């Protein structure tokens, strides 16, 4: 295998790893959001069943829980995990692109695209800050 072929193979492998990191980050965020949504739906269904059973038996309705009172407000609870995934995934992409070897003598390599990893990193940092500010304001 010639040195040019080896460098091209290294570049291809690195691009595959970077693409895999992006896909894994997206899958992790989608999975976290789906799990949280599923948990909220189960809590609502359980609360509904309790209330319907109390109405059928003629009992006094249980008091409104904090979950029910805040169900119309957007929740910041999912912002922290999503923010951390984006932040760390973006930093990982930045590092992966920054330290990829160049191909040939032209110097054309993925290190020119290292700043693309900063986009999800800053979005993740914003979500982490949002989560922190939401928790501080709710106290």
Contacts of 10 (CB under 8 A, 6+ apart): 100, 101
What is the signed CA dihedral for 90, 93, 94, 98, rounded to 10 degrees?
180
Per-residue model confidence (pLDDT) at position 24:
83
- Decide if 7 contacts 60 (C-beta within 8 A): no
pLDDT tens digits, 6-62: 777 877 787 788 778 878 877 887 888 788 888 888 888 888 898 888 889 988 887
Per-residue model confidence (pLDDT) at position 66:
63
Contacts of 90 (CB under 8 A, 6+ apart): 117, 118, 119, 120, 121, 122, 123, 124
Q: Which of 14-18, 70-74, 84-88, 92-96 has the lowest mean pLDDT?
A: 70-74
pLDDT tens digits, 71-81: 555 555 678 88
Contacts of 7 (CB under 8 A, 6+ apart): 101, 102, 103, 104
Contacts of 93 (CB under 8 A, 6+ apart): 18, 21, 22, 116, 117, 120, 121
Per-residue model confidence (pLDDT) at position 128:
87
Mean pLDDT of the chain: 78
């Amino acid at each position: 295998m010639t040195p040019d072929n080896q460098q091209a193979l290294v570049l291809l492998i690195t691009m595959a790893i970077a693409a895999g990191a992006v896909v894994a980050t997206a899958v992790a965020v989608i999975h976290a959001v789906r799990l949280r949504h599923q948990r909220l739906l189960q809590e609502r269904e359980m609360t509904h069943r309790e209330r319907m059973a109390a109405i059928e038996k003629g009992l006094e309705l249980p008091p409104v829980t904090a979950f029910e009172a805040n169900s119309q407000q957007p929740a910041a609870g999912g912002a922290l995990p999503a923010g951390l995934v984006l932040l760390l995934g973006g930093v990982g992409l930045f590092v992966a692109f920054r330290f990829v070897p160049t191909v040939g003598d032209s110097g054309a390599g993925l290190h020119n695209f290292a700043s693309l990893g900063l986009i999800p990193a800053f979005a993740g940092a914003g979500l982490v800050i949002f989560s922190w500010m939401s928790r501080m304001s709710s106290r």
